[in-house]
Amino acid sequence: VETFNNDSINDLMDVLLKAKLNTENNNSHLLPGLELTDDYLLMTVADIFGAGVETTATVLKWSILYLLHYPEVQQKIHDELEKVLSFNRYPLLKDRQHLPYLEATISEVLRIQPVAPLLIPHEALEDTSIGEYIIPKGTHVIINLWSIHHDEKEWDKPKEFNPGRFLDEDGNRIYSPSPSYFPFGAGIRVCLGEALAKMELFLFLAWTLQRFTLSVPEGHVLPEPVGKFGVVLQAPEFKVKVTLREAWKEK
């Protein structure tokens, strides 16, 4: 609030404060429950941090843990990055379409360890049904994404970490090899940050793996990839050794 300038709107907080002040200055009479209270502003910002920061950071932790468990996957990503980018420049978003194995690895992490295993609770707005099941208006609906992503009827060996399931025979990217894949939800209530999250995950992992090799520190035991339930599905604590790749030592 102290740094707010009505003539210089730089972020979401500025937008919310401007709307709140405009409403108060114009003495607008909003319907009960629609006022822009301090609690509303604080909870909105908390939602942004919780949904847009904690989730992406958690997926990155899971990604690194699986790369440590599967060094052959990391090597394939290194090879792909070297083939497409060499060491002449850093990765850009436009490179996503040319790095299918890295994209497939991210997709597999999102499948095997969905950051929100039960997604976000929803409420039925009207009487409806799914198959033989009747869902009355007002019913709270919770989707068990974990079960869907590990359904043996939909996925071949779902407990195995296999980025190849998101590639066709020619090594091209498959967005969804099964209709039972929606780590960001589905429909009109799909996660608003899906596009941003995918960009962040790609850029962070592409930049990191182009420049560094990730390994398990000597004397350290790598934990099994078993999550801990909380606000999101947290990865177990682990240590990682980050080593500059030989090609970058010469630069």
Enumerate the known binding-site residues for heme.
Answer: 191
How far apart, in whole angstroms, are the C-alpha atoms of residue 72 and residue 216? 14
Alpha helices in 70-172 (DSSP H): 71-85, 100-112, 145-149
What's the full length of the chain, in residues? 251
How far apart, in whole angstroms, are the C-alpha atoms of residue 251 and residue 246? 9
User: Can you tell me whether residue 167 is helix, strand or coil?
Assistant: strand
Number of H helices, E strands in the chain: 8, 6
Annotated binding site: 191
How far apart, in whole angstroms, are the C-alpha atoms of residue 212 and residue 231? 31
Q: Which amino acid is residue 24, in one-letter code?
A: E
What lies within 8 Å, CB to CB, of 126 at 6+ separation is 137
Distances in Å between the Cα of 203 and the Cα atoms of 77, 90, 93, 114, 225 are 13, 9, 7, 20, 23
224: phi then psi, degrees, rounded to nearest 5 = -70, 150
Residue 240: name the closest of 61, 72, 108, 100 by CA.
61
